[in-house]
Chains A and B, each alone.
Chain A
């Protein structure tokens, strides 16, 4: 048997933090053979990126690395910088998570690929350019002759990631390290990128080290899987072993937390509720971002109609840029609408004054996508939660204190947390604070704008449970915006699908997930990776067959 392209043995990485060595990865050992994909799976903080960085020798200066990392029998740890520079890019290439920040915005993608090529090979400018165009053709960016001279901002998210991959492949690396390569992308784009990577693996016969938290992606790609938790390897085995016969409880828990399409029982709305007046009613709504300087006006949402009844959860699904967040924001009057009618709790807010808006906002609540940004970092969370109550003049001083404590208890946070600042809480706890604040005024309708996209799967599972409990208890209606069909599936009574600012399809959960009528919905559903390697293979082949 040939030597593996990457052989990591007993790798331990520690960081020097305030006088103590803090281990981030302990005794990690694995191998990647040519043409093989090994996935490292784990939640945030499990040390998976640290391992990848150690392989590239890109760790911060306060790190201490022991063990051995061999790339094609060449020891990398402790190697001189000159050698490292030669092997980075040439032998091992790295694909970053966020292509917009990893590509230099002031150079064309062609320039950046040519730079890599000429750093490693003795190549003339025109020769390098020809090779760059070849690479861009290989990663299937349309119109390669012209795309080579485009700047990163002129490409879409998926194309940018393709450009990154083209750059990574420039020197035919033996090993490709992909750190969350598709996390920032939509599902349909993600499916394309994964197809591309799979194709390249067979064509170039290079090993891939895939780092991700998404079990679906793993099922789609990986031959072997290493599960990490708190810097330790919890389980290491073939994809089939890990998915079908997980032995470690953490792996089992991780797999159980992944929302699976159609696995939960259908939630039905009490028919008496839908007879009532809807709490949120959008009729032919058009929302436009007005023209700003030279940038022309942009229609984000067009002719959108949707009704939400009391006690109902409606999932709004769509890819990025489909206008789903815009709908959510307009529903609580944060964005004015251009045409159509928008009624909240029986009142028309499409032409409401500031005063009326303030009144309507007492009946609405919103949970934002990123809890790190939606909580004021300089405000203790108790004050953030109490603010709506204080401003609505419902309670003051002692009474307000009491209500804040009740709200904290409702979202299962200790009340001693009230004087903490947001950064002192974990992501899941922060999002609970966001919910507590949104529910402070016992709203009739809650807008949840991708509340779980910043959370790990196990935290997400707990968060969704909590939201469901609260909803059953308080009976508020909810517009749940998400790009993740699995999450929407767990929660919603009805699902609405959006594409390019238009409503594509709306219907009960079963109608949408089991018998989608619109081709876009079908495509969306087909692109969602399922955390089951065998099933995913079948689905993938079906999807590819449908394309050709």
Chain B
């Protein structure tokens, strides 16, 4: 009964109408999740912000993938050392930012929008390069750690027994390796192979916590009756793991991966600070911040801009993770329908 009346009350809402009309079509889990994700406003805004930021950052200085390259639209490279700008800045603080967002004669990016560092290098190009590196490191560590952690955790939790014992002892071993030390060793020996190589290895040792959590979720979920139901329906183990159990564990996984990703930025900064991560003249956001943390009181822009970018990236990642989790979790109803339900209850009970 209540279902029908709910439908009626929701249909006053314009974009819900076609959802309900379409409903008889029969959507798969994936389609419904996608639909719910698209409807998640915060996640969609974050996705757009993150992608435009990535496009902006990577086009600034240019990139080169498999021989196809793009030179970049910004006039300075990170290795250029233009003279320190003094006019317009106070005498003690040469190289102040020229970015002006207030309408007036100085409106626009100017020559050095984020200012210059103490050598005179263009800070805008440094920050953009730093953001490139940080995003790369974050994505690679998140992907590698996520995939390895999910696979190992789900296999251990699903099959239990000796497979579980072996995988979890291996897990213990990996957790005991200090990431900083391993990163330093890899950075020291393979520093010339680039930061992606390092990120890949860091991903290979940061999955420990995730796989533990996934295993725990699997251990409880595999005892639920719907797993037996799926088995009776003829589902293979692989299908049960990935189609039936994994979506139920997605909340834990996403929260953990977003944590690993924000942790990745810090790990990379720590390694770079020690001189094993990103090697000069290359920079990363974490490195910029740690290099210029003393300048906070005197030339704060050296601190602000990389910090601002880290915050934007981390927030976007978190919001997207939030949206994904809500999209997978059917209990997360949109606020409008909850209101509807309550509003519908009220007259029903009054009579």
**Measuring CB to CB, which residues of chain A are less than 8 angstroms from any residue of chain B?**
17-20, 22-23, 230-231, 329, 332, 334, 358, 361-362, 364-366, 368-370, 373-380, 382-384, 387-388, 391-392, 401, 404-405, 414-419, 421, 423-424, 434, 437, 440
Once the chains bind, are A364 and B328 in contact (CB under 8 Å)? Answer: no
Which of B29, B234, B235 makes the CB contact (< 8 A) with A362? B234
Residue interface mask B332-348, A partner, CB < 8 A = 1: 00000011011101100
Query: Beyond A374-B228, A380-B29, A401-B26, is A20–B342 a contact (Cβ under 8 Å)?
Result: yes
Contact indicator A383/B28 (Cβ below 8 Å): yes
State which of A373, A382, A387 has its C-beta within 8 Å of the C-beta of B225.
A373
In the bound assembly, the distance between CA atoms of A434 and B28 in angstroms comes to 18
**Sample (22) of A-B pairs whose CB atoms are under 8 Å apart:** A18-B341, A18-B342, A20-B345, A230-B349, A334-B232, A361-B234, A366-B228, A376-B247, A376-B248, A377-B226, A377-B248, A377-B331, A378-B29, A380-B32, A383-B29, A384-B229, A388-B234, A391-B235, A404-B26, A415-B24, A418-B24, A419-B32
Report which of A19, A376, A418 forms a contact with B26, defined as CB distance below 8 A: A418
> How far apart are the CA atoms of A382 and B27 in the complex, in Å?
8
Q: Which residue of A lies closest to B223 (CB)?
A: A373
- Given A380-B32, A387-B233, A419-B26: A334 touches B228 (CB 8 Å cut-off): yes
* Chain B residue at smallest Cβ distance from A371: B225
What is the CA–CA distance of A89 and B84 in the complex, to the nearest angstrom?
80
Distance to closest chain A CB from B236 (angstroms): 8
A230-B349, A379-B244, A434-B229 known; 15 new pairs, CB 8 Å cut-off, are: A19-B342, A22-B346, A334-B231, A366-B228, A366-B229, A369-B225, A378-B330, A379-B29, A380-B27, A380-B28, A382-B27, A384-B226, A405-B26, A416-B23, A421-B331
**Mask of B1-30 contacts with A, CB within 8 angstroms, 1/0:** 001000000000000000010011111110
**Are A392 and B234 touching (Cβ within 8 A)?**
yes
Q: How far is the CB of B338 from chain A (nearest CB, A)?
A: 6
Q: What is the chain B residue whose CB lies nearest that of A232?
A: B349
Q: Which residues of B contact A379 (CB under 8 A)?
A: 29, 226, 244, 247
| CA A364 to CA B228, docked complex, whole Å | 13
Task: Check B232 against A364 for contact (C-beta < 8 Å).
Answer: yes
- The one of A20, A370, A376, A414 in contact with B230, judged by C-beta atoms closer than 8 angstroms, is A376
Residues of B within 8 A of A416 (CB): 20, 23-24
User: Which residues of chain B have C-beta atoms less than 8 A from A370's C-beta?
Assistant: 225
- A380 vs B345: C-alpha distance when bound (angstroms): 25
Number of A-B contacts (CB under 8 A): 120
CB distance from A442 to the nearest CB of B (A): 14
Instruction: Give the residue among A230, A361, A378, A418 with the most B Cβ atoms within 10 A.
Output: A378
Who on chain A is nearest to B30 by CB? A383
Q: At the interface, yes or no: B224 with Cβ under 8 Å from chain A?
A: yes
Residue of A nearest to B349 (CB): A23
Chain A residue contacts of B3, Cβ below 8 A: 414, 417, 424
**Alpha-carbon gap, A231 to B224, bound state (A):** 33
- Residues of chain B within 8 A of A358, CB atoms compared: 234
Residues in B lying within 8 Å of A, measured CB to CB: 3, 20, 23-29, 32, 224-226, 228-235, 239, 244, 247-248, 250, 328-331, 338-339, 341-343, 345-346, 349
Query: Given that A361-B232, A383-B28 are contacting pairs, would A374 and B339 also be in contact in the complex, using a CB cutoff of 8 Å?
Result: no
State A361–B228 Cα separation when bound (angstroms): 12
Q: Give the CA-CA distance A355 to B40 in the complex, in Å.
A: 43
Most buried by B among A20, A373, A376, A401: A376
| Complex CA distance for A364 and B26, rounded to whole angstroms | 26
- Once the chains bind, are B349 and A22 in contact (CB under 8 Å)? yes
Q: A19-B339, A373-B224, A376-B230 are in contact. Are A387 and B349 (CB under 8 A)?
A: no
How far is B239's CA from A392's CA once the two chains are assembled, in angstroms? 13
For B248, the closest partner residue in chain A by CB is: A378
Inter-chain contacts of B345 with A (CB < 8 A): 17, 20, 22
Distance between Cα atoms of A418 and B345 in the complex (Å):
24
Among B235, B250, B342, the residue within 8 A (CB) of A387 is B235
Give the top 7 A-B pairs by smallest Cβ distance, nearest first: A421-B330, A374-B225, A388-B233, A391-B234, A18-B342, A378-B247, A376-B226
Q: How far is the CA of A408 from the CA of B349 in the complex (A)?
A: 30
Across-interface contacts of A18 in B (CB, < 8 A) = 338-339, 341-342
Give A380 to B226 CA distance when docked, in angstroms. Answer: 13
CB distance from B9 to the nearest CB of A (A): 13
Closest to B7 in A: A416
Q: How far is the CA of A437 from the CA of B228 in the complex (A)?
A: 13
Q: Which residues of B contact A373 (CB under 8 A)?
A: 224-226
A416 to B233, CA, bound (A): 23
The closest CB in chain B to the CB of A329 belongs to B228
Contact call B229/A437, Cβ cutoff below 8 A: yes
Q: Do the beta carbons of B248 and A419 come within 8 Å of each other?
A: no
Contact assessment for B26 and A382 in the assembled complex, using a CB-CB cutoff below 8 Å: yes
Set of chain B residues within 8 Å of A383, measured between Cβ atoms: 28-29
The CA of A382 and the CA of B25, in the complex, are separated in Å by 10
- Within the complex, what minimum Cβ distance (angstroms) separates B38 from chain A? 16
Nearest neighbor of A16 in chain B, beta-carbon distance: B342
CB closest chain-B residue, reference A415: B24
Question: Please, which residues of chain A bring their CB within 8 A of the CB of B234?
Answer: 358, 361-362, 388, 391-392
Max chain B C-beta neighbours (<10 A), residue from A374, A392, A401, A423: A374
Give A362 to B338 CA distance when docked, in angstroms: 40
Interfacial chain A residues near B341, Cβ < 8 Å = 18
A368 to B224, CA, bound (A): 11
**Cβ contacts under 8 Å, A19 to chain B:** 339, 342
How long is the Cα–Cα vector from A377 to B27 in the complex, in angstroms?
15
Kindly report which residue of chain A lies nearest to residue B333, judged by CB atoms.
A424
* A421: chain B residues within 8 A (beta carbon): 330-331
Q: Which residue of B20, B231, B330 contacts A377 across the interface (Cβ within 8 Å)?
A: B330
Q: Which residues of A lie under 8 Å from residue B342 when comparing CB positions?
A: 17-20, 22
